[in-house]
Chains A and B, each alone.
Chain A
Amino acid sequence: MDGVITKKSNGKLGGKDLINIGIYAAIYCVIMTAISMLGFIPVLMPSLAVLCPLIGGITMMLFYTKVKKFGMITIITVLIGAFLWITGMGYWPFIFGIICGVVADLIAKGGNYASKKMTMLSHGIMNITIFGCFLPLYLDIDGYFASRTSYGSDYVNVLKTIFQPWTAPIILGCAFVFGVLGALLGMSFMKKHFEKAGIV
């Protein structure tokens, strides 16, 4: 990984870039955890695919202003995926994180990390990582709940009615569309607040 990133970028990722990645990843993860608490109410579980990209967009847009080199978006997405893994979402987000991160990074690079449209698109792709959390629900719904009987049969039944197989593309689409919308929201926030405060 290291060799690839260093060779492709115009400059090596410096210490400051890496620290920035860590800081924004930490903020993003804290926000995401706060939102995920809603997932304990079964009806609101799919709304995670909407809220996380939307609110996380504010953080991410601020992060995108700091991105100038290839690799930064990849690393932050992988880190977020890893965080989802160790907080109990299974290993799918991690795998998704690697793929989506590289794709999102390539797209943002296509816009030279300055184009608004490319940034939006890239943020949308990045948020497909969140779909990884829901994947086990579709792959093997009975096996998934067989190990989660402790949540209670009501919870399981409600979730089973929500997560019909046909909703998979919808959730995937939601994650993407709201990723794009989140980017828009983040940009408007930047104009409204952060530029004034002088931290961009």
Chain B
Amino acid sequence: MDPRTKLLILITITTFALGGAGGKRVEALVPVLCMMPFLLLITAKRFKTAVIGIFLFWVTTFLLGFANTHGMSGFLYYILLGSCGILGRFLPCIMMGRYLMESTTVSEFNAAMKRMHVSDNFIIPMSVMFRFFPTVIDEAESIGCAMKMRGISLTGKHASKIIEYRMVPLMTCCVNIGEELSAAALTRGLGGNVKRTNICKIGFRMQDYVAMALCLIPWILLIVDVVK
């Protein structure tokens, strides 16, 4: 699939399924949109992730429906709703984001953005962001572990120091890694004045058109709603 279609799907899902834009009329489409990432994961041969995702999604939906129809109340109900509602809502988006990240290389992403005539000023920071997210999360986790050992965590003795003792090392090491990254990218000619070429072949195919048509329906409904 084309990276552009994937982006469109991601934005559509987050806007309508997670952000809840569009109101009642779009609501019927939400389950369809929510199932899309799982389908895509299956086509990408990530059966395990897809099956776990579908299972979790249906369990949460079922539990919510069960709780609502039986009019449960109280603390247990709140916990159930909180965890299931949030999980069920975020799961499709997380899955879609994962699919996008895993199935798209940075070069493909760049090629797609170039095709959309996005300025270089936005493409480069965005691709660096893509590349850098896992690094930052990784570092943050390691620093969190190290600080836990010294009792600097939310439950530890020195909880008040948490901001300073976690932020400073995180910033320092991320900036250092960033310096190296930018040196590496400049060596490969990122900053040059020449137009960069790309060997990735991207283009719309049958499945892209189908997915795009599906994504456009809620947007059209939203626009009709706003115009009214």
- Footprint of B on A, CB under 8 Å? 1-2, 5, 13-16, 18-23, 25-27, 29-31, 34, 40, 55, 58-59, 62, 71, 75-76, 78-79, 83, 85-91, 136, 143-144, 146-152, 154-155, 189, 193-194, 197, 199
Give me 6 other A-B pairs in contact (C-beta within 8 A), A5-B121, A15-B124, A136-B19 excluded: A1-B121, A2-B121, A23-B175, A86-B97, A90-B19, A148-B85
> What mask results when residues 5 to 16 of chain B are scored 1 for a CB within 8 Å of chain A, else 0?
000001100110
A87 to chain B, nearest CB (A): 7
- Give chain A's interface secondary structure class: helix
* Interchain CB contact (< 8 A) of A78 among B122, B140, B178: B122
Among residues 167 to 192 in chain B, which have CB atoms less than 8 Å away from a CB atom of chain A?
Answer: 167-168, 170-172, 174-176, 178, 181-182, 185-186, 190-192
Chain B contact residues: over half helix, strand or loop, or mixed?
A: helix
User: Is the CB–CB distance between B140 and A30 below 8 Å?
Assistant: yes
Q: How far is the CB of A50 from chain B (nearest CB, A)?
A: 13
* Distance of A30 Cα from B182 Cα, bound (Å): 20
| A31, A76, A83, A152 — most chain B CB neighbours (10 Å) | A152
> Which chain B residues numbered 132 to 164 have a C-beta less than 8 Å away from chain A?
132-133, 135-137, 140, 163-164
Are B170 and A27 interface neighbours, CB within 8 A? yes
B81–A18 touching, CB < 8 Å? no
Choose from A21, A27, A146 the contact partner of B125 (Cβ within 8 Å). Answer: A21
